[in-house]
Each structure stands twice: as C-alpha cells, then as structure tokens.
C-alpha cells in the first residue's frame, strides 16, 4: 500500500487531537484522565468507549475495538489509511506531497479523474438547461418557481439525448474507463456508449467538501422510473452522504437541521429561504449519515413523507439517531404529503411554525400507537397505557420522564401513581434481567486462537504487563527487557505477535507507539489499545521489570529442575549423574534466593 512518509504521518497525527476528532462523531464526557461516550461501533446503553488524550488512543471495553486517530477515521468513515491521512491533513490545513505510483495511487488517480468527469458533467448539464432545445425542462423549473439563483446554487441541469454527454466527455480528452467508472455512461452489448441520463432534470450530488460525486435524474413526463440515481463507484457511496449539505452548511445550521426524502424538497425549501435542510439520497438513513447530521447540528427534525414508506423511514431513522444520543424531533404536517407541497400550498411562515412545533420521538410513537387502537374500548385503552409505560421506562432522564407521565395522566384520565407503578415495575425488571445477563455472560474482548487456549491467566497477565511496560516507549527500558526476555519466552499468541513487532520497531530506532499502532493488524490494534487503556498499577517501573525478570528466571530454573529430576530417574553414567546433581543443587540455591 502506498504510504506517506513517517514524518508527514506524524505531523498530521500531532495536529489532530484524537479527542477533538472523535468528538465530531461521539458525545464525550470527561471522567478522570480520560473521556467516555457511547461506542459508535456497537449498540450500548452505558458508555464503555474510552478516549485517552494523554496516549492519543481509543478503546471500547464493550466490543474491544481500539486504535489511534487514523484507525478511528478508517472505521467510522469506511475509508482506507491513506484517505484518513488525507482527510485529517485537510482538516489541519497540511499540504500533502503526491504519492508515488502504486496500485493505490492508480486508484487515487482514477478517483481524481472521476471527480473531473463529474465536475465537467455538472457544468455541461447546467449550461444545457438554458439552451433552446431544453424547453421542457425550462417549463418545469418555471412551474416550480425556481429562481436562477437556486438553479445555480444546486447546479440543476438537463440531460440530452442518446450519447451527447459521452461525445462531449471524449472531446474533453477523458478515457472510456474513466467515463464508465463515473456511472454516467453505459456500454451495451453492441459496444455502443449510451448516456445513463436522457431527457431528465439533473441534480448533481456533492460531498460535504463540495465535490460532485454523483447525480440524480428526474423524468419530466410520465415515464418510469421517476428518478434514476448514480451507481456506487470509486467516489460515491450513497449511505455516506447527504444531499444539499454542501449548500446548507454555508448557512447557520448549528441549532437545527431538517432531513427530508427528496431532492426537490431540499431545493424548494431553499428557494423559500429555508436553508437548514438536507435529504438522505433515497435510502433509509444510515449510521454514517447520522454521524454527518450530529456533526453539523444540535437538533435533527425528521420530515419524511406521510405515506407508509415515509413513516417506516422515520422509525428507522429514529432508532439510529437515538442510539447516537441525538436530539430528535418529528415534523407533523396536515394538508400536504411532503414539505415541498406544504410550502407551495401554505408558504414559508406557516411551514416555519410547523417546524417550531415538531414533536418529540415519544410523542410521535404515542400518536402512531393511538391511531392503531380504539381508546373507547377498555382492553385497547389498557394495552395503550401499558405500551406507553414501556416507552417511558426507556427514558433515562428523570425530569423528562416526569414531564411525560404528567402529560399522559392528564390527557388520558389516568392517575400518575398508576403510570409510575407500571414504569417502575418495568424498569426494575429490565435492570434485574440486565444484571443476570452481565453475571452469566462474560465480556469477550478478542478471540483467542486454539493454540493459546492452554496458556494460564498468570502467564497472560505477566506478558501483558511486559507489553504495557514496553508501550511506555522508553528505549532504555526496552534494552533491559530485551537482554532478559526473548520473543521465545512469550507463550500467548497475540502477545507474542505484538512483542515481535515492538522489538522489531525498537531495534530500528522507532519508539513512537502511535506510529507502531499504524503497522499492526486490526486484532493487534484492539489488543494493544486495551493494554494501554487498562491500569496495570505500575508505580515503580524498575521494580516491576525486576519482578518480571525474576519471574521468568524462576520459570526457567524450575523447568530445568524438572528436566534434571527426570534424567536422574533413568539409568545414567556416574560422571553425568554427578554433573546433574551439582547443577540441581545450584538451581535449588538460586531458586531459594529468588524466593
């Protein structure tokens, strides 16, 4: 894999504090020397995700994942190491040198070309919109009352016929491979190149940095499908981006951000001076999109369509965003199926009023539940109140729980005491079940290989302590350990692998632990950050080293003692017997001194 120099990587690392970077994705709270939050890599209720500003590492004590700032970004964004370096370098305004040509840099070169193909295409389609032959598109945008400013902000355009774009791209010097990789052109069985988008209103999709990464095309008649979107490729993964975020972030979106379903919802609201709006690119909201939302705003308002698919999308989005600890509200509209239609019918001011009155997740779930039951029926009302108690029991904040109980009791004519009793019963049962599960099910932080299963816990602890001392990065300490403890002395598989790498790097003069982490496998990174995150209680390093060296020496002597005793049980020549007895005597004396 192509890599930047160690000096460049270290500069990027040092200018990107791990707490600052992770805080963009995870809400962290300081506790002692470290920060803790809910792990973004698995679902959990209690924070077990630890970030150390001192060691510049993270580790989750729940699922065992760990690493440094580069590891975190590769996992959270689904990118490779080089891309993580580039993203963090851009964040820190560091100019990176060009990588030498390798398989990776060939891929980077292809990506760069696809970005240029997309950029040219966006401009080409946009200019095409203003040509006389694009009358059908011009009539559509006029009907939707889209201003020239809005059309330019989103680079809305119009695609031509058959292979017009392909010929224009070839004229610009782009190669077939680059054009096909962009997904803008298809090649049929007869070898003909045909534009993917023909006679459609075109919406360029940009990443948060403003680079064109894909397109969406809408028909202007009754043809099917209504929308065609770019396939995923080297620059585009639809679950990692939000339509319109590159435009919205130019405005004040820190307080609140609306998420809608379609391109036209975003464009129509923007046209009417509602700029804090994005769309989820026609897919169910993903965790990566959730991180983007949480990174850019404090409150997220879900504004999906009111049809069945829209309601299902709301529920999925709620689950994802709630697990991230986001402040979520749900937009409630009457008289229109989506925000675009609502704004056109009722105007900006009324829509803003609806936004301000967006309800909480609990209120939305109660509303959906109420619609499915007949509250005049006694059994249905009991079921309704029991289900509400389940919802309230999952609220951690006592004040918030109190408010909902007051509201439900008043609205549905039931005593607060009855609701409290049911909620407390459910909470107690859940806590009890959780304790039983925790008691009976140990946390597994890594998978042990079969050949290491017979290694004792005492041996693992000793080897982990040796690694913990080596991870201090002190070359003088390493020299002492190396002289007394060889790689062969390690018995636990993963500890031996890590020790081998540490010895190798130290021998090459590299004692930068974060730099060494970059060169480890995922399993080794998880293990090493676990060691760095745990407290081994080493107050006196020199004494700890002496104790460990003596422990190894004692083990070697005992092993040799048993070997001699076994040899003496067999017929042996007199001279050899005397030598063995003398060696045995010396070993016993040395063991006595160690004790």
pLDDT in tens, 363-374: 888 888 888 888
Query: Which whole-number Å values give the CA distances from 170 to 125, 174, 379, 533, in the listed order?
Result: 16, 5, 70, 55
CA 33 – CA 535 distance, rounded (Å) = 12
**Residue 272: band (very low, low, confident or very high) from pLDDT cuts 50, 70, 90:** confident
pLDDT digits (tens, 9 = 90+) for 162-191: 899 999 999 999 999 999 999 999 999 898
CA distance 295 to 299: 11
Residue 41's φ and ψ, nearest 5 degrees, are -105, -5
Rounded CA separation 94/87 (Å): 10
Q: Which residue has the higher pLDDT, 308 or 135?
A: 135
Residue 324, pLDDT > 80, answer no
pLDDT of residue 451: 44
Mean pLDDT, rounded, of the chain:
84
Of 48-52, 289-293, 434-438, give the lowest mean pLDDT range: 434-438
What local confidence, expressed as pLDDT, does residue 283 receive?
A: 63
Q: Percent of the chain, pLDDT > 90? A: 30
- What is residue 538's predicted lDDT score, i.e. its pLDDT? 67
Range 450-580: architecture per CATH: Orthogonal Bundle (1.10)
Q: Can you give the pLDDT at residue 496? A: 92
**562 pLDDT higher than 90:** no
Contact 393, 427 (CB under 8 A): yes
Torsion angle in degrees (nearest 10) through CA of 143, 145, 150, 154: -30
Nearest one of 91, 63, 64 to 77, comparing CA atoms = 91
Asked whether the predicted pLDDT for residue 445 surpasses 50, the reply is no
Count Cβ atoms within 10 A of the Cβ of residue 271 and give its class: 0-12 exposed, 13-18 middle, 19 or more buried. Answer: buried
The whole-number pLDDT of residue 441 equals 36
Whether a cis peptide bond, with omega within 30° of 0, leads into 378 is no
Alpha helices in 45-102 (DSSP H): 69-77, 81-91
pLDDT at 535 over 70: no
Is a pLDDT exceeding 50 seen at residue 436? no
CATH homologous superfamily of 6-91 equals: Zinc finger, CHC2-typedomain (3.90.580.10)
Q: What is the pLDDT of residues 86-102, one digit of tens each?
A: 999 988 888 887 765 55
Pair 53, 216: CB distance under 8 Å? no
**Distance of alpha carbon 569 from alpha carbon 563, whole angstroms:** 10
Q: Taking residues 493-511, what's their average pLDDT?
A: 90
Mean pLDDT value across residues 557-579: 78
Phi, psi angle pair for 143, to nearest 5°: -60, -40
Q: How is domain 101-236 classified at the architecture level of CATH?
A: Alpha-Beta Complex (3.90)
Looking at the predicted structure, is the pLDDT value of residue 449 above 60? no
Taking Cα atoms as reference points, which of 423, 433, 432, 428 lies closest to residue 391?
A: 423
Domain range list for the chain: 6-91, 101-236, 239-360, 373-440, 450-580
Query: Taking the domain 239-360, which CATH number applies?
Result: 3.40.1360.10
d(CA 88, CA 188): 41
| CB contact at 8 A, 439 and 500 | no
What average pLDDT does this structure show over 545-568? Answer: 79
Query: Rounded to an integer, what is the distance from CA 120 to the centroid of its chain?
Result: 32
CB proximity list for 423: less than 8 A, separation 6 or greater: 389, 392, 393, 401, 405
pLDDT at 118 over 90: yes
Q: Averaged over 69-73, what is the pLDDT?
A: 94
What confidence category does residue 60 fall into, taking pLDDT thresholds of 50, 70 and 90?
very high
Q: Where are the alpha helices (DSSP H) in 24-157?
A: 69-77, 81-91, 103-128, 135-143, 148-153
pLDDT on residue 128: 95
Q: Which residue has the tokens 């040219």?
A: 120
Q: How far apart are the first and last CA of the chain?
A: 51
In the numeric block, the tokens 């105007």 are attached to: 347
The pLDDT tens digits of the residues spanning 4-49 come to 788 888 889 888 999 999 988 888 888 888 899 988 888 777 888 9
Report pLDDT digits (tens) over 207-227.
888 899 999 999 998 888 899
Contact in structure between 501 and 516 (CB atoms under 8 Å)? yes
Range with lowest mean pLDDT among 252-261, 405-414, 450-459: 450-459
529 CB-side CA count, 13 A = 34
pLDDT at 310: 62
User: What is the number of other CB atoms lying within 10 angstroms of the CB of residue 210?
Assistant: 11
16-30, 235-249, 445-459, range with the lowest pLDDT: 445-459
Do 533 and 53 contact (CB within 8 A), yes or no?
Answer: no
For 279-295, the pLDDT digits (tens) are 988 667 888 888 788 87
CB 179 within 8 A of CB 166: yes
Q: Find, among 530, 459, 470, 452, the residue nearest to 506 by Cα.
A: 470
pLDDT of res. 431: 59
Reported as type and span, the H/E element at residue 537 is: none
The arrangement of strands across the sheet holding 227-229 comes to 157-158, 200-206, 212-219, 227-229
The token pair that represents 174 in the structure block: 């782009």
Q: Using pLDDT thresholds of 50, 70 and 90, give the confidence band for residue 306.
A: low
Strands 29-31 and 212-219: unpaired
Give burial (CB, 10 Å; 0-12/13-18/19+) of 350. middle
φ and ψ at residue 58, rounded to 5 degrees: -130, 155
| pLDDT, average across residues 538-564 | 78
How many C-beta atoms surround the C-beta of residue 329 within 10 A? Answer: 21
pTM of the complete model: 0.67
């Amino acid at each position: 894999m192509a890599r930047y120099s160690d000096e460049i990587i270290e500069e990027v690392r040092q200018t990107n504090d791990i707490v600052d970077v992770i805080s963009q994705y995870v809400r962290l709270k300081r506790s002692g020397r470290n920060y803790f939050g809910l792990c973004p890599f698995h679902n959990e209720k209690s924070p077990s995700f630890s970030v150390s500003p001192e060691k510049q590492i993270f580790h989750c004590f729940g699922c065992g994942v760990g690493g440094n700032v580069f590891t975190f970004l590769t996992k959270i964004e689904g990118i490779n190491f080089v891309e993580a370096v580039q993203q963090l370098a851009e964040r820190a305004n560091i100019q990176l040198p060009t990588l030498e040509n390798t398989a990776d840099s060939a891929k980077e070169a292809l990506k760069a070309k696809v970005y240029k193909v997309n950029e040219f295409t966006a401009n080409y389609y946009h200019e095409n919109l203003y040509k006389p032959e694009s009358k059908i598109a011009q009539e559509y945008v006029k009907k939707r009352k889209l201003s020239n400013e809005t059309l330019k902000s989103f680079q809305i355009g119009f695609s031509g016929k058959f292979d017009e774009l392909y010929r224009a791209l070839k004229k610009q010097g782009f190669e077939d491979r680059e054009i096909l990789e962009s997904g803008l052109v298809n090649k049929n069985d007869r070898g003909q190149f045909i534009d993917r988008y023909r006679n459609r209103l075109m919406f360029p999709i940009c990443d948060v940095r403003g680079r064109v990464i894909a397109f969406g095309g809408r028909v202007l008649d009754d043809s099917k499908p209504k929308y065609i979107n770019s396939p995923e490729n080297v620059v585009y993964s639809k679950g990692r981006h939000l339509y319109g975020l590159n435009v919205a972030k130019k405005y004040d979106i820190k307080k609140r951000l609306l998420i809608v379903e379609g391109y036209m919802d975003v464009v129509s609201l923007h046209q009417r001076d509602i700029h804090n709006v994005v769309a989820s690119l026609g897919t169910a909201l993903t965790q990566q999109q959730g991180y983007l939302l949480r990174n850019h705003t404090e409150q997220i308002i879900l504004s999906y369509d009111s049809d069945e698919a829209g309601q299902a999308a709301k529920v999925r989005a709620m689950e994802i965003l709630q697990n991230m600890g986001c402040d979520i509200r749900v937009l409630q509209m009457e008289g229109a199926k989506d925000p675009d239609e609502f704004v056109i019918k009722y105007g900006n001011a009324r829509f803003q009023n609806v936004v301000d009155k967006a309800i909480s997740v609990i209120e939305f779930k109660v509303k959906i539940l109420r619609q499915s039951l007949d509250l005049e029926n006694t059994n249905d009302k009991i079921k309704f109140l029991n289900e509400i108690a389940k919802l309230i029991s999952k609220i951690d904040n006592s004040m918030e729980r109190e408010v909902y109980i007051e509201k439900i009791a008043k609205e549905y004519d039931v005593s607060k005491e009855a609701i409290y009793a049911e909620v407390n019963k459910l909470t107690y049962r859940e806590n009890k079940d959780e304790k039983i599960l925790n008691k009976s099910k140990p946390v597994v932080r890594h998978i042990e290989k079969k050949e290491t299963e017979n290694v004792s816990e005492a041996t693992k602890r000793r080897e982990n302590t040796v690694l913990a001392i080596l991870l201090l990065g002190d070359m003088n300490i390493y020299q002492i350990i190396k002289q007394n403890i060889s790689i062969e002395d390690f018995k636990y598989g993963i500890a031996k692998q890590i020790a081998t790498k540490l010895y190798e790097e130290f021998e090459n003069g590299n004692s930068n632990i974060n730099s060494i982490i970059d060169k480890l496998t995922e399993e080794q990174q998880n293990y090493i950050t676990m060691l760095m995150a745990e407290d081994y209680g080493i107050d006196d390093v020199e004494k700890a080293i002496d104790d460990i060296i003596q422990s190894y020496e004692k083990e070697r002597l005992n092993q040799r003692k048993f070997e001699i005793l076994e040899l003496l049980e067999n017929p042996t020549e007199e001279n050899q017997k005397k030598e063995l007895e003398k060696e045995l005597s010396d070993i016993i004396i040395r063991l006595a001194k160690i004790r």
